[in-house]
Protein backbone atom coordinates (compact mmCIF):
# COMPACT_ATOMS: atom_id res chain seq x y z
CA UNK A 1 0.00 0.00 0.00
CA UNK A 2 1.40 3.39 -0.99
CA UNK A 3 1.58 6.23 1.52
CA UNK A 4 -1.19 8.81 1.01
CA UNK A 5 1.34 11.58 1.66
CA UNK A 6 4.80 11.91 0.12
CA UNK A 7 7.72 14.00 1.39
CA UNK A 8 11.50 13.99 1.24
CA UNK A 9 11.47 12.58 -2.29
CA UNK A 10 10.20 13.65 -5.69
CA UNK A 11 6.41 13.91 -5.69
CA UNK A 12 4.54 12.59 -8.71
CA UNK A 13 1.21 11.13 -9.79
CA UNK A 14 -1.74 11.67 -7.46
CA UNK A 15 0.59 13.02 -4.76
CA UNK A 16 1.46 16.00 -6.97
CA UNK A 17 -1.06 18.71 -6.15
CA UNK A 18 -2.11 21.84 -8.05
CA UNK A 19 0.73 23.85 -9.72
CA UNK A 20 -1.29 23.90 -12.94
CA UNK A 21 -0.20 27.38 -14.04
CA UNK A 22 3.44 26.85 -13.09
CA UNK A 23 3.49 23.46 -14.85
CA UNK A 24 2.04 24.98 -18.02
CA UNK A 25 4.54 27.86 -17.98
CA UNK A 26 7.49 25.53 -17.50
CA UNK A 27 6.22 23.11 -20.14
CA UNK A 28 5.88 25.86 -22.76
CA UNK A 29 9.36 27.21 -21.93
CA UNK A 30 10.81 23.74 -22.47
CA UNK A 31 8.95 23.19 -25.74
CA UNK A 32 9.88 26.58 -27.21
CA UNK A 33 13.48 26.70 -26.00
CA UNK A 34 13.13 29.46 -23.40
CA UNK A 35 15.75 29.48 -20.65
CA UNK A 36 14.15 29.32 -17.19
CA UNK A 37 15.32 30.39 -13.75
CA UNK A 38 13.24 29.02 -10.89
CA UNK A 39 13.72 30.28 -7.32
CA UNK A 40 12.01 29.02 -4.18
CA UNK A 41 12.89 28.08 -0.62
CA UNK A 42 13.61 24.47 0.23
CA UNK A 43 10.64 22.17 0.72
CA UNK A 44 8.43 24.14 -1.63
CA UNK A 45 8.32 21.49 -4.36
CA UNK A 46 10.41 22.98 -7.17
CA UNK A 47 12.21 19.71 -8.02
CA UNK A 48 8.88 17.89 -8.26
CA UNK A 49 7.54 20.68 -10.48
CA UNK A 50 10.53 20.51 -12.83
CA UNK A 51 10.25 16.71 -13.00
CA UNK A 52 6.54 17.00 -13.78
CA UNK A 53 7.16 19.42 -16.66
CA UNK A 54 10.02 17.26 -17.95
CA UNK A 55 7.77 14.19 -18.02
CA UNK A 56 5.18 16.11 -20.04
CA UNK A 57 7.57 17.26 -22.78
CA UNK A 58 10.03 14.37 -23.02
CA UNK A 59 9.77 12.73 -26.44
CA UNK A 60 11.80 11.72 -29.48
CA UNK A 61 12.02 15.41 -30.40
CA UNK A 62 12.75 16.77 -26.89
CA UNK A 63 15.40 15.19 -24.67
CA UNK A 64 15.92 16.06 -20.99
CA UNK A 65 19.29 16.15 -19.20
CA UNK A 66 19.29 16.54 -15.41
CA UNK A 67 22.14 17.24 -13.03
CA UNK A 68 22.43 18.27 -9.40
CA UNK A 69 25.19 20.79 -8.69
CA UNK A 70 24.90 20.45 -4.91
CA UNK A 71 27.93 18.16 -4.66
CA UNK A 72 30.07 20.20 -7.06
CA UNK A 73 32.90 22.09 -5.38
CA UNK A 74 34.81 23.30 -8.41
CA UNK A 75 34.61 24.06 -12.11
CA UNK A 76 36.05 20.60 -12.85
CA UNK A 77 33.33 18.89 -10.76
CA UNK A 78 30.63 20.80 -12.61
CA UNK A 79 32.01 20.07 -16.08
CA UNK A 80 32.33 16.35 -15.30
CA UNK A 81 28.74 16.16 -13.99
CA UNK A 82 27.50 18.20 -16.93
CA UNK A 83 29.09 15.88 -19.51
CA UNK A 84 27.77 12.79 -17.71
CA UNK A 85 24.21 14.17 -17.61
CA UNK A 86 24.25 15.14 -21.30
CA UNK A 87 25.64 11.80 -22.51
CA UNK A 88 23.10 9.91 -20.38
CA UNK A 89 20.20 11.99 -21.68
CA UNK A 90 21.15 11.64 -25.34
CA UNK A 91 21.91 7.92 -25.26
CA UNK A 92 19.13 5.35 -24.92
CA UNK A 93 21.36 2.29 -24.76
CA UNK A 94 24.94 1.21 -24.15
CA UNK A 95 26.01 1.22 -27.79
CA UNK A 96 24.61 4.71 -28.35
CA UNK A 97 26.37 6.34 -25.42
CA UNK A 98 29.65 4.70 -26.44
CA UNK A 99 29.13 6.07 -29.94
CA UNK A 100 28.28 9.53 -28.59
CA UNK A 101 31.35 9.51 -26.35
CA UNK A 102 33.58 8.47 -29.28
CA UNK A 103 32.06 11.00 -31.67
CA UNK A 104 31.79 14.05 -29.47
CA UNK A 105 34.44 13.48 -26.79
CA UNK A 106 37.12 11.65 -28.74
CA UNK A 107 39.87 14.22 -28.40
CA UNK A 108 39.49 14.49 -24.62
CA UNK A 109 40.02 10.78 -23.78
CA UNK A 110 37.51 10.85 -20.92
CA UNK A 111 37.82 8.57 -17.92
CA UNK A 112 34.65 6.51 -17.49
CA UNK A 113 33.62 4.99 -14.15
CA UNK A 114 30.88 2.37 -14.04
CA UNK A 115 28.40 1.41 -11.33
CA UNK A 116 26.45 -1.83 -10.97
CA UNK A 117 24.34 -1.07 -14.05
CA UNK A 118 26.80 -0.10 -16.80
CA UNK A 119 24.02 1.00 -19.15
CA UNK A 120 22.64 3.69 -16.83
CA UNK A 121 25.06 4.00 -13.93
CA UNK A 122 28.26 5.64 -15.12
CA UNK A 123 30.15 8.90 -14.76
CA UNK A 124 32.62 10.75 -16.94
CA UNK A 125 35.60 12.82 -15.86
CA UNK A 126 38.33 14.70 -17.71
CA UNK A 127 41.91 15.63 -17.10
CA UNK A 128 42.50 19.27 -17.90
CA UNK A 129 44.03 22.45 -16.58
CA UNK A 130 42.89 26.05 -16.73
CA UNK A 131 45.14 26.69 -19.72
CA UNK A 132 43.26 24.50 -22.20
CA UNK A 133 39.79 24.68 -23.71
CA UNK A 134 38.23 21.52 -22.32
CA UNK A 135 35.54 23.31 -20.20
CA UNK A 136 34.25 25.42 -23.11
CA UNK A 137 34.28 22.44 -25.45
CA UNK A 138 32.34 20.29 -22.99
CA UNK A 139 29.84 23.11 -22.43
CA UNK A 140 29.22 23.08 -26.19
CA UNK A 141 28.50 19.34 -26.07
CA UNK A 142 24.66 19.58 -25.77
CA UNK A 143 24.39 21.85 -28.82
CA UNK A 144 26.68 19.65 -30.92
CA UNK A 145 24.69 16.52 -30.14
CA UNK A 146 21.23 18.11 -30.43
CA UNK A 147 21.96 19.91 -33.71
CA UNK A 148 23.49 16.82 -35.33
CA UNK A 149 20.67 14.52 -34.22
CA UNK A 150 17.87 16.98 -34.97
CA UNK A 151 16.11 17.37 -31.64
CA UNK A 152 15.80 19.88 -28.81
CA UNK A 153 17.59 19.35 -25.50
CA UNK A 154 16.61 20.82 -22.14
CA UNK A 155 19.37 20.81 -19.51
CA UNK A 156 18.07 21.10 -15.93
CA UNK A 157 20.56 22.03 -13.20
CA UNK A 158 19.36 21.75 -9.60
CA UNK A 159 21.03 23.79 -6.81
CA UNK A 160 22.63 25.96 -9.47
CA UNK A 161 23.58 28.59 -6.88
CA UNK A 162 26.39 26.22 -5.84
CA UNK A 163 28.60 27.59 -8.62
CA UNK A 164 28.63 30.88 -6.72
CA UNK A 165 30.85 29.14 -4.15
CA UNK A 166 33.48 28.02 -6.68
CA UNK A 167 36.95 29.58 -6.72
CA UNK A 168 36.92 32.48 -9.20
CA UNK A 169 33.18 31.96 -9.63
CA UNK A 170 32.48 35.04 -11.76
CA UNK A 171 34.97 33.92 -14.40
CA UNK A 172 33.27 30.54 -14.61
CA UNK A 173 29.82 32.16 -14.77
CA UNK A 174 31.01 34.33 -17.68
CA UNK A 175 32.29 31.18 -19.40
CA UNK A 176 28.92 29.43 -18.99
CA UNK A 177 26.92 32.43 -20.21
CA UNK A 178 29.15 33.07 -23.22
CA UNK A 179 28.77 29.47 -24.43
CA UNK A 180 25.16 28.76 -23.49
CA UNK A 181 23.65 31.95 -24.93
CA UNK A 182 24.76 30.93 -28.44
CA UNK A 183 23.01 27.56 -28.39
CA UNK A 184 19.86 27.33 -30.54
CA UNK A 185 18.93 23.66 -29.99
CA UNK A 186 19.41 23.72 -26.20
CA UNK A 187 17.67 25.55 -23.37
CA UNK A 188 18.46 25.58 -19.68
CA UNK A 189 16.38 25.32 -16.52
CA UNK A 190 18.44 26.60 -13.59
CA UNK A 191 16.91 26.32 -10.15
CA UNK A 192 18.03 26.59 -6.56
CA UNK A 193 16.89 26.97 -2.98
CA UNK A 194 19.25 29.62 -1.61
CA UNK A 195 17.19 32.66 -2.49
CA UNK A 196 19.77 35.35 -1.81
CA UNK A 197 22.46 33.62 -3.91
CA UNK A 198 20.09 32.93 -6.81
CA UNK A 199 18.85 36.53 -6.75
CA UNK A 200 22.40 37.86 -6.80
CA UNK A 201 23.32 35.69 -9.78
CA UNK A 202 20.28 36.50 -11.92
CA UNK A 203 19.07 39.94 -10.86
CA UNK A 204 22.26 41.96 -10.47
CA UNK A 205 23.22 43.84 -13.63
CA UNK A 206 26.92 43.33 -12.99
CA UNK A 207 26.60 39.51 -12.90
CA UNK A 208 27.00 37.37 -16.07
CA UNK A 209 23.59 35.65 -15.83
CA UNK A 210 21.58 38.87 -15.61
CA UNK A 211 18.43 38.48 -17.76
CA UNK A 212 19.45 35.02 -18.93
CA UNK A 213 15.85 33.81 -19.17
CA UNK A 214 12.34 33.67 -17.73
CA UNK A 215 12.79 34.10 -13.97
CA UNK A 216 9.96 33.20 -11.66
CA UNK A 217 9.46 32.49 -8.00
CA UNK A 218 7.61 29.37 -6.98
CA UNK A 219 4.97 30.52 -4.54
CA UNK A 220 2.90 28.57 -2.08
CA UNK A 221 -0.05 26.41 -3.06
CA UNK A 222 -3.29 28.04 -1.89
CA UNK A 223 -4.84 27.04 1.42
CA UNK A 224 -8.08 25.95 -0.25
CA UNK A 225 -6.20 23.63 -2.63
CA UNK A 226 -4.22 22.13 0.24
CA UNK A 227 -7.33 21.57 2.35
CA UNK A 228 -9.05 19.81 -0.54
CA UNK A 229 -5.93 17.70 -1.14
CA UNK A 230 -5.45 16.70 2.51
CA UNK A 231 -9.09 15.79 3.00
CA UNK A 232 -9.12 13.86 -0.27
CA UNK A 233 -6.05 11.81 0.66
CA UNK A 234 -7.63 10.91 4.01
CA UNK A 235 -10.88 9.99 2.28
CA UNK A 236 -9.36 7.56 -0.25
CA UNK A 237 -7.83 5.61 2.64
CA UNK A 238 -11.11 5.36 4.56
CA UNK A 239 -10.36 8.12 7.08
CA UNK A 240 -11.69 11.61 7.72
CA UNK A 241 -10.22 14.95 8.68
CA UNK A 242 -12.29 18.10 9.13
CA UNK A 243 -11.73 21.27 7.16
CA UNK A 244 -10.74 23.00 10.41
CA UNK A 245 -7.98 20.49 11.19
CA UNK A 246 -6.73 20.45 7.59
CA UNK A 247 -6.52 24.24 7.84
CA UNK A 248 -4.55 23.88 11.07
CA UNK A 249 -1.98 21.76 9.21
CA UNK A 250 -1.67 24.53 6.60
CA UNK A 251 -1.27 27.22 9.25
CA UNK A 252 1.43 25.39 11.22
CA UNK A 253 3.50 24.59 8.12
CA UNK A 254 2.77 27.93 6.42
CA UNK A 255 1.92 25.82 3.36
CA UNK A 256 5.49 24.68 2.70
CA UNK A 257 4.76 21.68 0.48
CA UNK A 258 7.05 19.10 2.04
CA UNK A 259 6.04 20.09 5.57
CA UNK A 260 2.32 19.91 4.71
CA UNK A 261 2.80 16.37 3.42
CA UNK A 262 4.95 15.31 6.38
CA UNK A 263 2.65 16.70 9.06
CA UNK A 264 -0.44 15.28 7.35
CA UNK A 265 1.32 11.90 7.27
CA UNK A 266 2.02 11.97 11.01
CA UNK A 267 -1.60 12.90 11.71
CA UNK A 268 -2.86 10.17 9.37
CA UNK A 269 -0.66 7.58 11.09
CA UNK A 270 -1.92 8.53 14.55
CA UNK A 271 -5.66 8.87 13.96
CA UNK A 272 -8.37 6.25 13.87
CA UNK A 273 -11.29 6.68 11.51
CA UNK A 274 -11.40 10.44 12.10
CA UNK A 275 -8.59 12.84 12.97
CA UNK A 276 -8.84 14.86 16.19
CA UNK A 277 -7.14 18.00 17.48
CA UNK A 278 -5.02 15.76 19.70
CA UNK A 279 -3.84 13.84 16.63
CA UNK A 280 -2.73 17.10 14.99
CA UNK A 281 -0.81 18.19 18.11
CA UNK A 282 0.82 14.76 18.25
CA UNK A 283 1.80 15.16 14.59
CA UNK A 284 3.32 18.58 15.27
CA UNK A 285 5.48 17.12 18.03
CA UNK A 286 6.63 14.29 15.75
CA UNK A 287 7.49 16.81 13.03
CA UNK A 288 9.59 18.80 15.49
CA UNK A 289 11.29 15.57 16.62
CA UNK A 290 12.12 14.69 13.01
CA UNK A 291 13.60 18.12 12.27
CA UNK A 292 15.39 18.67 15.58
CA UNK A 293 18.81 17.18 14.64
CA UNK A 294 19.02 19.48 11.61
CA UNK A 295 17.89 22.53 13.59
CA UNK A 296 20.45 21.86 16.32
CA UNK A 297 23.16 21.64 13.66
CA UNK A 298 21.99 24.91 12.07
CA UNK A 299 21.90 26.89 15.32
CA UNK A 300 24.57 25.44 17.63
CA UNK A 301 27.36 27.65 16.25
CA UNK A 302 25.33 30.88 16.21
CA UNK A 303 26.39 33.78 18.40
CA UNK A 304 24.18 35.14 21.18
CA UNK A 305 23.41 38.18 19.00
CA UNK A 306 22.33 35.96 16.11
CA UNK A 307 20.10 33.80 18.34
CA UNK A 308 18.58 36.93 19.85
CA UNK A 309 17.78 38.22 16.37
CA UNK A 310 16.04 34.94 15.51
CA UNK A 311 14.15 35.32 18.79
CA UNK A 312 12.71 38.70 17.83
CA UNK A 313 11.69 37.40 14.39
CA UNK A 314 9.98 34.41 16.00
CA UNK A 315 8.17 36.87 18.27
CA UNK A 316 6.70 38.59 15.22
CA UNK A 317 9.01 41.62 14.97
CA UNK A 318 9.99 41.82 11.28
CA UNK A 319 11.26 45.40 10.92
CA UNK A 320 12.38 48.40 12.97
CA UNK A 321 15.29 46.45 14.45
CA UNK A 322 17.37 49.52 15.34
CA UNK A 323 14.77 51.05 17.63
CA UNK A 324 16.23 51.56 21.10
CA UNK A 325 13.47 49.51 22.73
CA UNK A 326 14.10 46.55 20.40
CA UNK A 327 17.89 46.68 20.78
CA UNK A 328 17.52 46.69 24.55
CA UNK A 329 14.76 44.09 24.89
CA UNK A 330 16.54 41.52 22.72
CA UNK A 331 20.12 42.41 23.71
CA UNK A 332 21.30 43.05 20.14
CA UNK A 333 24.10 45.49 20.92
CA UNK A 334 24.37 48.63 18.82
CA UNK A 335 22.37 49.62 15.76
CA UNK A 336 25.49 49.05 13.63
CA UNK A 337 25.53 45.44 14.80
CA UNK A 338 22.17 44.75 13.13
CA UNK A 339 23.64 44.98 9.62
CA UNK A 340 26.27 42.35 10.44
CA UNK A 341 23.70 40.05 12.04
CA UNK A 342 21.33 40.24 9.07
CA UNK A 343 24.13 39.63 6.56
CA UNK A 344 25.44 36.59 8.44
CA UNK A 345 22.04 34.96 8.97
CA UNK A 346 21.05 35.60 5.35
CA UNK A 347 24.24 33.94 4.11
CA UNK A 348 23.46 30.96 6.36
CA UNK A 349 20.00 30.82 4.72
CA UNK A 350 18.33 31.13 8.13
CA UNK A 351 16.49 34.38 7.39
CA UNK A 352 15.08 35.88 4.22
CA UNK A 353 13.86 39.27 3.03
CA UNK A 354 10.06 39.10 2.91
CA UNK A 355 9.40 42.72 1.91
CA UNK A 356 10.98 46.19 1.94
CA UNK A 357 13.21 46.34 5.04
CA UNK A 358 11.36 43.29 6.36
CA UNK A 359 12.84 39.93 7.39
CA UNK A 360 11.52 36.57 8.54
CA UNK A 361 12.91 33.18 9.52
CA UNK A 362 13.31 31.16 6.32
CA UNK A 363 11.88 27.92 7.73
CA UNK A 364 8.51 28.04 9.56
CA UNK A 365 9.18 24.80 11.43
CA UNK A 366 12.56 26.10 12.60
CA UNK A 367 10.69 29.12 13.97
CA UNK A 368 8.19 26.85 15.74
CA UNK A 369 10.99 24.66 17.12
CA UNK A 370 12.82 27.69 18.51
CA UNK A 371 9.66 28.92 20.23
CA UNK A 372 8.61 25.57 21.67
CA UNK A 373 11.84 23.74 22.35
CA UNK A 374 14.45 26.48 22.88
CA UNK A 375 12.52 29.38 24.38
CA UNK A 376 9.71 27.15 25.77
CA UNK A 377 6.85 29.36 24.61
CATH number of 301-374: 1.10.10.10
CA–CA distance, 165 with 160 (Å, rounded to integer): 10
Nearest residue to 217 via CA among 23, 361, 46, 350: 46
- The pLDDT of residue 84 is 83
- What are the structural domain ranges in the chain? 19-217, 223-297, 301-374
Residues in the chain with pLDDT < 70?
A: 1-2, 8-18, 93-134, 377
Is the whole model's pTM more than 0.95, yes or no?
no
Question: Which CATH architecture does the domain made up of 223-297 adopt?
Answer: Orthogonal Bundle (1.10)
Q: Are 244 and 252 in contact (CB under 8 A)?
A: no
- pLDDT given at position 130: 46
Output the DSSP codes for 262-282: HHHHHHHHH-SSB--HHHHHH
Helix axes 277-299, 257-270, angle to 10 degrees: 130
Average pLDDT of the chain to the nearest whole number: 87
Q: Do domains 19-217 and 301-374 have the same CATH topology?
A: no
Other CB atoms closer than 10 Å to residue 201's CB: what's the count? 25
Domain spanning 19-217, CATH class? alpha beta
Q: End-to-end distance of the chain based on CA atoms, in angstroms?
A: 39
Amino acid sequence: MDSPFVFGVRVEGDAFTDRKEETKRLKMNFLYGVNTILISPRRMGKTSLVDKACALVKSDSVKIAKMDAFGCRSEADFVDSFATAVIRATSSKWEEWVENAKTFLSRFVPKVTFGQDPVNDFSISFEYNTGNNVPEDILRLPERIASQKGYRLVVCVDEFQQIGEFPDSLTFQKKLRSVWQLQSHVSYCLYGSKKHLMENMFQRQDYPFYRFGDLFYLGKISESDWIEYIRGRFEITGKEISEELARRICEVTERYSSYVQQLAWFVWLRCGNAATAEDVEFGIDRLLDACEPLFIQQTESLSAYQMNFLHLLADGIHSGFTRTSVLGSYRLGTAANITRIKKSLTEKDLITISGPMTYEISDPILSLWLKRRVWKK
